[in-house]
């Protein structure tokens, strides 16, 4: 009897250790964009827009979000996620190079974008005129711009200095490639994510569905 009880205790202890090991393993999740009470994330290769209270998987729930971080509860443990500059996204999109994006509450579209082989979260904003990249991010991906002459540029918090560059190729969601894109590197941390404005949209075929609030992008036919 003593031997049987001992075995039961050992098995129970092992089960507790295994359960604890699972509980402390932080889920692989990356954040594309953050808002008050909302977050756009990449999870298991798919982009998802979540509101507080939404569940990704069993026991994996968004419990709070603001402009700095999103907090998830996973099996009773809280994990905080900030915006990811580099996204490992398994999303491949349509094989014909077509992308359909859904607008957020501000009529902006969140995507993953590759510049010079470096992938990051980005925003398409039809109300913006130019393609804008912060000097902070440009430095991180070793984008050359400092040999250009800077000029004054207006940004939401006042004015800054912008440097005109040409991006040899950018790739949206590993699907849509656009070459020789004119862009401006803005001195400082604005924008937090690369911003694609109207000048970029003129380089692709655009279809907008206002009822469904979607934007479909395709490569221009040569």
Q: What is the pLDDT of residue 14?
A: 52
Q: Where does a domain end: 21, 48, 81?
A: 81
- Domain shared by 197 and 141, yes or no: yes
- Domain shared by 76 and 151, yes or no: no
Would 18 be classed as within a structural domain?
Answer: yes
The dihedrals phi and psi of 168, each to the nearest 5 degrees, come to -55, -40
Cis ω for the linkage preceding 211 (within 30 of 0): no
**Residue 106 — very low, low, confident or very high, per pLDDT cuts 50/70/90?**
confident
- Residues β-bridged to residue 176: 172
- Domain shared by 113 and 140, yes or no: yes
Rounded Cα distance, 47 and 40, in Å: 7
Q: How many domains does the chain have?
A: 2
pLDDT at 111 over 50: yes
Helices then strands, each counted (H, E), the chain: 3, 17
Q: What is the pLDDT of residue 214?
A: 82
- Domain shared by 29 and 108, yes or no: no
**Residue 156 — very low, low, confident or very high, per pLDDT cuts 50/70/90?**
confident
The dihedrals phi and psi of 166, each to the nearest 5 degrees, come to -120, 120
- Residues β-bridged to residue 110: 123
Rounded Cα distance, 168 and 18, in Å: 50
What's the pTM value of the predicted model, to 2 decimals? 0.61
- CATH number of the domain that 187 lies in? 2.40.70.10
Tokens for 78? 């809280």
User: Mean of the pLDDT values across residues 89-106?
Assistant: 64
Q: What is the pLDDT of residue 22?
A: 44
- Domain shared by 76 and 114, yes or no: no
Q: Where does a domain end: 17, 49, 81?
A: 81
What residues contact 150, with CB distance under 8 A and at least 6 apart? 161, 162, 163, 187
**Residue 91 — very low, low, confident or very high, per pLDDT cuts 50/70/90?**
very low
Which residue range(s) make up the domain with 63?
Answer: 2-81
Stronger pLDDT, 185 or 174, i.e. the higher one: 185
Continuous H helices in the chain = 2-24, 135-140, 198-201
């Amino acid at each position: 009897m003593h031997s049987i009880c001992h075995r039961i205790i050992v098995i129970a202890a092992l089960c507790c250790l295994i359960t604890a090991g699972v509980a402390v393993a932080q889920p692989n999740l990356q954040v594309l964009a953050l808002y008050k009470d909302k977050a756009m994330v990449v999870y298991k290769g798919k982009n998802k827009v979540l509101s507080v209270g939404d569940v990704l998987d069993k026991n994996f729930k968004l419990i709070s979000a603001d402009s700095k971080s999103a907090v998830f509860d996973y099996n009773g443990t809280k994990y905080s996620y900030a915006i990811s500059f580099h996204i490992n996204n398994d999303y491949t999109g349509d094989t014909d190079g077509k992308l359909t994006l859904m607008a957020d509450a501000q009529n902006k579209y969140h995507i993953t974008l590759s510049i010079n082989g470096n992938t990051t979260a980005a925003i398409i904003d039809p109300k913006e005129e130019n393609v804008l990249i912060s000097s902070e991010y440009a430095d991180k991906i070793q984008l050359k711009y400092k040999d250009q002459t800077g000029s004054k540029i207006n940004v939401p918090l006042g004015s800054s200095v912008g440097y005109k560059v040409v991006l040899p190729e950018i790739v949206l969601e590993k699907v849509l490639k656009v070459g020789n894109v004119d862009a401006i590197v803005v001195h400082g941390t604005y924008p937090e994510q690369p911003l694609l404005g109207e000048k970029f949209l003129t380089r692709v075929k655009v279809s907008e569905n206002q009822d469904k609030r979607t934007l479909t992008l395709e490569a221009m036919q040569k």
